[in-house]
A and B are shown apart, each in its own frame.
Chain A
């Protein structure tokens, strides 16, 4: 369901009021790589309702922007009750002294107008202590149904200006929604905004479904289903919810699919006679190419963003370890050498890191390493953490955490790639196997 196909972005015409002066002293900037400990204080007063009837949506948009920024752990909102100044007119000059007095380093102002089902949101970001605007104002136009997406777009722009990196708020997550006890668990595919809003189920729970993965454009989802009684890979169109089986050869199982970066083919595991190897399949023709031929288990493949390589797990050494090979198959290089077992590698969208699941001494971890296996860092530890997925900007990792015991349940968590800001993702009931979409 494309809520928001008609999004229009425009740069606000400068000249409504004083031109920003050149920033003095330190520019407003969070250097994420420096290891931010202290979140940046900022204010986002309710956006100004510029038309009758846009009061509520103005407030709601401001709250979604604040939730996005606060959720990163990099920003801390100065609450409205502490404000000594208010923004009642988007075009009026900002009283910087009033915002300095409450220690807001950044200020986000906005205006919202509604006409029929059309919504327009404009905003500006200010460096309060420098008394200047940061970047130029932007205007988003769309339909009222898409108000959350517009709020996420604003938050992405603010995040990008202050951190210098791309945002990730205007994105979605597909996952497996879970209900029922451990020995009778019902699973169904669900898709939601990254923050849990706009939940939509894509399948019913009559068959086990596993590990959905978004296409590079976010319009299709690959997943594994037991619909036929045997696990097979399906591709589903998110808009129409129509699905088709990709690989359904009698006597074989297929699972762990992932799109190639061009979206035209799929790499996956196929099991035949008890042996699991990697195959590439062209989606249009259904033609299959075998990438590995060993008696060991080869699974959980993931492409490098440029499509030239595949990282995967194999137990060819005797235990589960990570390997990198050319996208066409052939010799593979082992990259994991630490203690324990390594699985479910996922190449980051920036190409610089590989996220993985590690099992050691009865504990599970989500970790990252460089693509040559160096600089391994574990970000989490629990009874069972697995299945990392990257935010579109490569800053945040979402994964499955399952609790111990007879009442054990799965839920989604996220953690910054620095290891900070570990927290549950709000979902309705249980969930597992999240996969993050690209930025929409």
Chain B
């Protein structure tokens, strides 16, 4: 039918447009490397690469929990320490959930996890206006199997740094 042909053509045109679209937020999201900030060398203690590798940019959570583990707490304390010494960076804390849960609940759960990290950072003296939080719920898993080994990695809060250009 004529109508169908038209619909198919429209779809094709849109797909083409999507392919050439330079893309907005999320298109090249590699889950924690920051947007457009130079990672630098991990040998440089004030680099994002150092933060990710030596300090640790993420903490993991138990099923349906948003309380920091003792290990998680130590990582966030180290993050706070680093952020206090490297005032040129701002951070977005991304909260995530595994796939065992409904979409809306997982968004809210990811927000709790991100907030748990934010609160500890602020309590250690990091200025609250340097930290924002966002939840991706179950939308951005890093591990894709449907086993606890993957779920454990996906239940995370990642501190994503950006060089503060305005500062």
Stretch in contact with the other chain, from A39-47, A325-333, A402-410: A402-410
Given known contacts A183-B142, A253-B111, A206 and B27 CB-to-CB distance under 8 angstroms: yes
Chain A-chain B contacts (Cβ-Cβ < 8 Å), number:
143
Given known contacts A204-B17, A405-B145, A297 and B105 CB-to-CB distance under 8 angstroms: yes
Least distance between B95 CB and chain A CB atoms (Å):
8
With the chains together, A386 CA to B138 CA distance in Å?
13
- Residues from chain A with a CB closer than 8 A to the CB of B108 are 269, 271, 276, 297, 299
- Asked whether, in the complex, the Cβ of A271 is within 8 Å of the Cβ of B144, the reply is no
Tell me if A182 counts as interface (CB < 8 A to partner B): yes
Give the residues from 1 to 53 in chain B that come closer than 8 angstroms, CB to CB, to chain A: 1, 3-4, 7, 10-11, 14, 17-18, 21, 23-27
A408's closest neighbor in chain B, by CB? B146
- Residues from chain B with a CB closer than 8 A to the CB of A405 are 144-146
Q: Which among B10, B25, B102 is the interface contact of A343 at CB below 8 angstroms?
A: B102
- Residues from chain B with a CB closer than 8 A to the CB of A384 are 99
- Residues from chain A with a CB closer than 8 A to the CB of B119 are 274
- Asked whether, in the complex, the Cβ of A182 is within 8 Å of the Cβ of B7, the reply is no
Best-buried of B18, B104, B109, B136 by chain A (most CB within 10 Å)? B104
Tell me if B100 counts as interface (CB < 8 A to partner A): yes
Given known contacts A231-B134, A402-B99, A406-B144, A207 and B24 CB-to-CB distance under 8 angstroms: yes
A192's closest neighbor in chain B, by CB? B7
- Residues from chain B with a CB closer than 8 A to the CB of A227 are 24-25
- Residues from chain B with a CB closer than 8 A to the CB of A183 are 140-144
A198's closest neighbor in chain B, by CB? B7
Tell me if B112 counts as interface (CB < 8 A to partner A): yes
Give the residues from 346 to 394 in chain A that come closer than 8 angstroms, CB to CB, to chain B: 357, 359, 362, 383-384, 386-387
- Asked whether, in the complex, the Cβ of B115 is within 8 Å of the Cβ of A273, the reply is yes
Tell me if B107 counts as interface (CB < 8 A to partner A): yes
- Residues from chain B with a CB closer than 8 A to the CB of A404 are 146
Convert A288-314 into 0s and 1s, putting 1 for each residue whose CB lies closer than 8 angstroms to a CB of B: 000000000101100000000000010
Least distance between A291 CB and chain B CB atoms (Å):
15
- Asked whether, in the complex, the Cβ of B115 is within 8 Å of the Cβ of A204, the reply is no
- Asked whether, in the complex, the Cβ of A359 is within 8 Å of the Cβ of B100, the reply is yes
- Residues from chain A with a CB closer than 8 A to the CB of B111 are 253, 271, 274, 276
- Asked whether, in the complex, the Cβ of A357 is within 8 Å of the Cβ of B21, the reply is no
A298's closest neighbor in chain B, by CB? B108
A313's closest neighbor in chain B, by CB? B105
Given known contacts A199-B11, A269-B104, A182 and B141 CB-to-CB distance under 8 angstroms: yes
Tell me if A31 counts as interface (CB < 8 A to partner B): no
Q: Which among B10, B104, B109 is the interface contact of A211 at CB below 8 angstroms?
A: B104
B115's closest neighbor in chain A, by CB? A274
Least distance between A190 CB and chain B CB atoms (Å):
9
- Residues from chain B with a CB closer than 8 A to the CB of A386 are 102-103
- Residues from chain A with a CB closer than 8 A to the CB of B143 are 183
Tell me if A262 counts as interface (CB < 8 A to partner B): no
- Residues from chain B with a CB closer than 8 A to the CB of A56 are 1
B15's closest neighbor in chain A, by CB? A201
- Residues from chain B with a CB closer than 8 A to the CB of A231 are 107, 134-135
- Residues from chain A with a CB closer than 8 A to the CB of B66 are 274
- Residues from chain B with a CB closer than 8 A to the CB of A359 are 100-102
Tell me if B163 counts as interface (CB < 8 A to partner A): no
- Asked whether, in the complex, the Cβ of A300 is within 8 Å of the Cβ of B104, the reply is yes
- Asked whether, in the complex, the Cβ of A201 is within 8 Å of the Cβ of B134, the reply is no
- Residues from chain A with a CB closer than 8 A to the CB of B14 are 201, 204
Give the residues from 71 to 117 in chain B that come closer than 8 angstroms, CB to CB, to chain A: 92, 99-105, 107-109, 111-112, 114-116
Tell me if B133 counts as interface (CB < 8 A to partner A): yes
Tell me if B130 counts as interface (CB < 8 A to partner A): no
- Asked whether, in the complex, the Cβ of A205 is within 8 Å of the Cβ of B18, the reply is yes
- Residues from chain A with a CB closer than 8 A to the CB of B142 are 183
- Asked whether, in the complex, the Cβ of B3 is within 8 Å of the Cβ of A251, the reply is no
Tell me if A228 counts as interface (CB < 8 A to partner B): yes
With the chains together, A408 CA to B27 CA distance in Å?
21
Q: Jot down 18 A-B pairs with beta carbons below 8 A, ordered by A.
A: A60-B1, A197-B4, A201-B11, A207-B25, A210-B139, A227-B24, A231-B107, A253-B135, A269-B107, A271-B107, A274-B119, A276-B108, A297-B105, A300-B105, A343-B105, A405-B146, A406-B146, A433-B103
Q: Report A's interface with B, CB cutoff 8 A.
A: 56, 60, 145, 147-148, 181-183, 185-186, 188, 197-201, 204-208, 210-211, 226-231, 251, 253, 255-256, 269, 271, 273-276, 297, 299-300, 313, 315, 320, 343-344, 357, 359, 362, 383-384, 386-387, 402, 404-406, 408, 428, 433
Given contacts A274-B118, A343-B104, 7 further A-B contacts (CB under 8 A): A182-B144, A226-B25, A229-B134, A271-B107, A362-B100, A383-B146, A386-B103
